[in-house]
Structure 1
Amino acid sequence: MFNKIRLWKKQNNNSSTLRDNIEKIKKMPVPEHVAIIMDGNGRWAKKRALPRVAGHHEGMKVVRKITKLSNMLGIKALTLYAFSTENWKRPKNEVDYLMKLPEEFLGSFLPELIEENVQVRMIGYKDQLPIHTLNAIEKAIDDTKNNDGLVLNFALNYGSRAEIIDATVQVLNDYKSGILNESDINEELFSSYLMTSNLKDPDLLIRTSGEIRLSNFMLWQLAYSEFWFTDVLWPDFGEQHLLEAVEAFQNRQRRFGGV
């Protein structure tokens, strides 16, 4: 009985602290677009002598939690690096499981996303995705297309180098066909040919698990983003970690090459 009371008090205190921290952070400008490299699922599972897929399943729960908090903070876009063009090299059973996660995640979370006015989007190469994965993503995109709150953007089968090459080819083709003049080509125009053309560049990049690299993620778009790295593995990443990252962002001076 006493243990239950202590647990209830602890949970209540944690909830109160979280609310206070959220209100404190919302008093200052928050990043409009946050991008996250969700790393460490496999290592989380290995530390617990579990199969790697168990880490991915646990990480899916964190996506739900972080999406809700991002919406609460007033963040306008959240891009999550869910599967890279290089991840196909992983063991087949792991890839197969990862391709089932969008169905499982969106199947249970979609009503909540609709209720919270979240709009689902995706960047990446759809033609290589299994039909069941693509159907789940496209249903979520269609069902939330009229929402105008947080944009939850999944980078799925995404690779930044391929994206930049494809954009370059499209610009070249439009130049050859007379749609573009050489004088039209600048950073703003090139950005409009990228998969993120309808999104502001990320203000803040978060990467978990202690790795300090971009791993072919949004190489063009992250040119002037603030980076925040943590040793915390993605399945252990909680609301307080996101708040710490946003608070660190708020304490930085962004000069964009100026003084």
Structure 2
Amino acid sequence: MSHYAAAAKPDHVAIIMDGNGRWANGRGLRRVMGHRKGAEAVRVSVDAARDSGIGYLTLFAFSSENWKRPEDEVNDIMGLIGLFVDRELENYHRQNLRFRMIGERSGLSESVVKSLEKAEKRTESNTGLNVIVAVNYGARAEIAKAVSALAQSVKDGLLKPEEITEAHIARRLDTAGIPDPDLIIRTSGEQRLSNFLLWQAAYSEFVFLPCLWPDFSREMFFDALETYSVRCRRYGGVEEHVKALAGS
């Protein structure tokens, strides 16, 4: 199939899981209950991604800006992340899923880091769906860190400024070796990236859903894939030329 052909099935789907707090508030519950319910939606999305045959699923679990939330809520979220990973690890390992984390590990509690790294180590040889969890992740900080590393290479005489390419930057991002997301889904009705995969999302397709994350369903996941399948990814080309290439 031509590089310019209409999209078929994405290889990499990323999800901004938004709306846990509003889901709980709307029911008169503590916000942590929304996060707990949201963990069930994570299971749903992982199962759907596995069954769809895609290669990569990235879940935005906790942003670097989320530290601004009340301390008790942050502690609840971190506890849930560690608990979820520990509980699901062997199940996902049996399913041949590979677990990865992107984001800054510094600043996370020792117990959370231990759970995440244990999952990465346990599943590193698996060849099925890659489940990538973004924890303490911020895209601007990620890009700044990559630029800093390149600046050090220039300073050390390993690279000339004029030699720096997009590939040099990409290789220094947290997602090095992972394909850019073809499709990004965001729940809760918000329509923005919120500092998520800014570099990698340059040519991503977007699907914005009005549902809050705890209400996310398997059907919604597959509906998003269907929406993606009829998009025409032009990558800067003109439509008439795209159609000609797709038909060739």
1:98 aligns to 2:77 (yes or no): yes
Matched residues in 2 for 1:50 and 1:184: separation? 55
Aligned to 2:59: 80
Matched to 1:40, the amino acid is: G
Shift of 1:106: 1.6
Match of 2:40 among 55, 61, 71: 61
1:136 aligns to 2:92 (yes or no): no
Shift of 1:93: 0.6
The within-5 A match list for 1:235-250 is 235-250=214-229
Shift of 1:180: 1.3
Matched to 1:61, the amino acid is: E
Match of 2:177 among 170, 188, 198: 198
**Moved >4 Å (runs of 4+):** none
- Greater Cα offset, 172-181 or 209-218: 172-181
Shift of 1:183: 3.9
1:119-176 CA distance string (max 9 Å, x none): 0000000011001111111111111111011110010000001111111111111011
Matched to 1:131, the amino acid is: E
| TM-score normalised by structure 2 residue count | 0.91
Match of 2:90 among 99, 102, 111: 111
Aligned to 2:198: 219
| TM-score normalised by structure 1 residue count | 0.88
Residues 49, 57 of structure 2: 8 Å contact kept: yes
Matched to 1:257, the amino acid is: G
SS in 2 for 1:165: helix
- Aligned-residue sequence identity (percent) comes to 47
Match of 1:254 among 233, 237, 247: 233
Unaligned 5+ runs, structure 2: 1-6, 239-248
